Structure 1
Amino acid sequence: MMTNKGDYSFSTCWNIKKHPGDGRGMIEEIKSLGFQRVELNYNVTREMMESIEPMIERGEIGISSVHNTFPHDPDPDYGTDSVLLGFDDEVKRKRAIDLLVQSAEYAHRYGGKAVVVHPGEVPFDYNIDSELKKLWREGEGGGRSEAYRKLWNEMLERRTELSDTYLRKIQHSLEEVCDRIAQKGYDVAIGIETRSRCYQMPTLQEAKTVIDRMKGAPVYLWYDIGHGMMMERMGLYDNENEAKAMKDYVIGVHIHETIELSDHWCPYVHSKDMNYFDHFVEIIEKAPIKVYELKALCQPEEIEESHAILLSKIAALKG
């Protein structure tokens, strides 16, 4: 018997491929794990919502958050790995803003408190992150080869040179989004998410910069723990210490663990490391919205075990 997971939410990314077009079946399976709340991820279609909306209206399931772009938009220009709010092309940037406002509208309608958004990136003409991860995996002890360091420095030079330009574009777009959702009266936060590719934005410091510049606007950090672990291993930022310093900026967390550079595993259970993930327990405990974002390979009994360990760690933290 699965325990009631209380205020914890669960992302539909876990089982959406298992239920093509079947929104109700997807939600029922998540409910069977003991979750009363879900995060609707960016692959949920309008068709799936036809069977999910009645469940929301009847109180069979609660919505914690939605993940931009929602509902699913098949155009990769507005997908999860794009320049999005930082487009140089004004037509595309305006479209990205419209889509984020639409996501906020759905979150508001369903009682969700936040929209998770991947705000943008420093564009490269190829996926340099994929090449770096390949070199990292081939390097002794992860990423210390000469080839890795050389390519990393090339990436970092371009990223550093252009990051402020794109960060200002992203901020400008977020200001427009916030103005529009305020006009519409939506009580919804925008959570800018830490990312899984080294050229994507924001880093923790970039998120802090944007949020500080937008004081008073409903823009916060959506802290993806596994992505932060991955970026620390690759060398982009000091995840553990920078995240702790930003815990007051966090609106929501994606709870999952990264093993080497593979993410979306159950904390503690798959890594077999009973200590390292403790660094993030205080942030999870404090975060207003707590969402497990796990891959399909995670089994129900592993999810149950992982959650029980996390709760015991939080209890110990509280003393």
Structure 2
Amino acid sequence: MYSLSTCWNSHRHTDGRLMLREIRSLGFDYAELSHGIRISLLPGIFEAVDAGEIRISSLHNFCPLPMGVDRAAPNIFKFTSEDPREREMAYRQTLKTFETAVRVKAPLVVLHMGKVDMKDYTDRLLEMAGAGQRETPKYEKLCAEVLEKREKRKEPHLTAAYELLRRLIREAEARGLRLGIENREALEEIPFETDFPLFFREFDRPSVVYWHDTGHAQIKENLGFIHHGLHLEALADRLAGFHIHDVSFPGRDHLPPGAGGIDFAALAGLVKPEHIKVLELGPWVPTADVQRGWEHIRSLWGET
């Protein structure tokens, strides 16, 4: 199935039903409720779903937004926090996402797992890559530094996140939900690109699946940390779905497919009809470009 994320249009709507009708008017049978859904949009969303106007493919945590938050904030409460109060808020808000997913009959919730507490190397490396400095000794030194520091500091954050995830798995399974663990673009966020195989051995159950973000993977390739296609191939047996967006080198993402540098054709052999395929486009993307991007990806990945 193909779906369109509400990250494209939730900001300009005050009525959730009209928000979903706009997506349906483009030809999408499904929408993903993204992490910018204000509580005030829920009544209209429920009306649209109950009336059969559109179906919900997935939700992106946290959905709806926590009280008092009026803009997308998927990392406002981190699973990896060393503050137990923040982790408890992450747990409670994720449970609210689960309840919303059940209410709209969505089968899957996409999760961010958190980050290691360290300085941000990602933006600096993106800046250097954009300036043509990827092959310089300074760039290589920074890459080695981030790998060393995040490895040294990860254990307490992994312990916290994994304990919280185990609690959430029990709640998700009781509700018949799957949890999509998303690959992230920031080098400080977990699971690290090298740790995904270990992660899925640790959580070897059908309710915990891999969610592949094409833009995030391409940014990691642009920085020199993975090969996009090989990374996806290594996790294909746990793959449940995609966030689809393109990237202009090195890191301008959430562009429509075909507007950036991702070789979507090279990934096509790993895409199956049963995968959930969500276009996750920036709110600045014109409607005509949304349609062109959807046509482009279907021409490469198939109609279903």
Q: TM-score, normalised by structure 1?
A: 0.86
Please state if 1:47 is matched with 2:40.
yes
Question: 1:262 pairs with 246, 252, 267, which one?
Answer: 252
Q: How does 1:8-23 map to 2 (within 5 A)?
A: 8-19=2-13, 21-23=14-16
Say which is worse superposed, 203-212 or 247-256, in terms of deviation: 203-212
For residues 46 and 247 of structure 2, what CA distance do their matches in structure 1 show? 33
For residues 227 and 169 of structure 1, what CA distance do their matches in structure 2 show? 24
- Which residue number corresponds to residue 102 of structure 1? 96
The CA deviation string for residues 158-202 of structure 1, in whole angstroms up to 9 with x for no partner, is 1122234433332221111112333xx311111111112111112
1:47 Cα offset (Å): 0.3
The CA deviation string for residues 222-260 of structure 1, in whole angstroms up to 9 with x for no partner, is 110110010111122232202112111112210111111
Please state if 1:93 is matched with 2:87.
yes
- Which residue number corresponds to residue 157 of structure 2? 166
For residues 48 and 273 of structure 2, what CA distance do their matches in structure 1 show? 29
Please state if 1:232 is matched with 2:226.
no
CA distance 1:286–1:24, change in 2 (3 Å): closer
Question: 2:279 pairs with 292, 297, 301, which one?
Answer: 292
The CA deviation string for residues 197-234 of structure 1, in whole angstroms up to 9 with x for no partner, is 11111234423322221222511111101100101111
Report SS of the residue matched to 2:179.
Answer: strand
CA distance 1:84–1:315, change in 2 (3 Å): closer
For residues 160 and 200 of structure 2, what CA distance do their matches in structure 1 show? 14
Q: Is the 8 A contact 1:83 1:123 kept in 2?
A: no
Letter in 1 for 2:9: N
Q: TM-score, normalised by structure 2?
A: 0.90
Q: Is the 8 A contact 1:8 1:290 kept in 2?
A: yes
Q: Is the 8 A contact 1:24 1:52 kept in 2?
A: yes
Letter in 2 for 1:240: G
For residues 304 and 36 of structure 1, what CA distance do their matches in structure 2 show? 14
Q: How does 1:130-209 map to 2 (within 5 A)?
A: 130-140=123-133, 143-182=134-173, 185-209=174-198
Higher helix share: 1
For residues 24 and 122 of structure 1, what CA distance do their matches in structure 2 show? 38
Runs (4 or more) in structure 1 with deviation over 3 Å come to none
Q: Is the 8 A contact 1:284 1:290 kept in 2?
A: no
For residues 268 and 246 of structure 2, what CA distance do their matches in structure 1 show? 12
Question: 2:288 pairs with 301, 308, 314, which one?
Answer: 301
1:60 Cα offset (Å): 0.9
For residues 88 and 217 of structure 1, what CA distance do their matches in structure 2 show? 28
For residues 255 and 110 of structure 1, what CA distance do their matches in structure 2 show? 22
CA distance 1:17–1:65, change in 2 (3 Å): same
CA distance 1:308–1:280, change in 2 (3 Å): same
Report SS of the residue matched to 1:63.
Answer: strand
Question: 1:27 pairs with 8, 20, 33, which one?
Answer: 20
1:71 Cα offset (Å): 0.5
Letter in 1 for 2:165: L
For residues 234 and 157 of structure 1, what CA distance do their matches in structure 2 show? 16
Q: Is the 8 A contact 1:250 1:287 kept in 2?
A: no
1:10 Cα offset (Å): 0.5
1:41 Cα offset (Å): 0.7
